[in-house]
Amino acid sequence: YQAGPCRRCICKYWSNVRSFFASFSKKEEVTTFTDLGVNVSVRVMEADKLIPGNVLFSDDFNLKTTDGSKVTTVANFDETQHAHVGKGYIDGFTQISSNKTVMSFAYDHCVRMFDRETNEKLLYAGKCNEMGYADGSVTARLTYPAAIARDMKRPEMLILLEQRADNGTLRHINTTREQNGVHHVSTLLKPNENLDKPSAFTQDKNSGDIYITSLNKIYKFVYATKTLVYFIGSEFYEHRDGPFSVASFKRPRGILFIENGKKLLVAGDYDYRLRILDLRISNVSSVGSGYVGHQDGNLFECTFNLPYSLLVIGDALYVGEYGGRIRKIIGELCRPQPMY
| Per-residue pLDDT in tens (0 to 9) along the chain, 340 residues | 444 444 444 444 444 444 444 444 445 788 898 988 888 899 999 999 999 999 999 998 899 999 999 999 999 987 644 444 447 789 999 999 999 999 999 989 999 999 999 999 999 999 999 999 999 999 999 999 999 999 999 999 999 999 876 789 999 999 999 999 999 999 999 999 889 889 999 999 999 999 999 989 999 999 999 999 999 998 888 999 999 999 999 999 999 999 888 999 999 989 999 999 999 999 999 999 999 999 998 888 899 999 999 999 988 999 999 999 999 998 755 444 433 2
CA distance 226 to 91: 25
pLDDT at position 6, please? Answer: 46
DSSP 273-317: EEEEEETTTTEEEEES-S-BS---EETTT--BSSEEEEEEETTEE
pLDDT at position 332, please? Answer: 58
Best CA proximity match to 64, nearest among 326, 333, 272: 326
Best CA proximity match to 306, nearest among 287, 290, 317, 318: 290
pLDDT at position 23, please? Answer: 47
Beta-ladder partners of 179: 182
Strand 168-179 to 157-162 pairing: antiparallel
pTM for the whole structure: 0.88
Q: How would you class 47 by CB atoms within 10 Å of its CB: exposed for 0-12, middle for 13-18, buried for 19 or more? A: middle
pLDDT at position 165, please? Answer: 66
CB count within 10 Å of CB 165 equals 12
pLDDT at position 21, please? Answer: 44
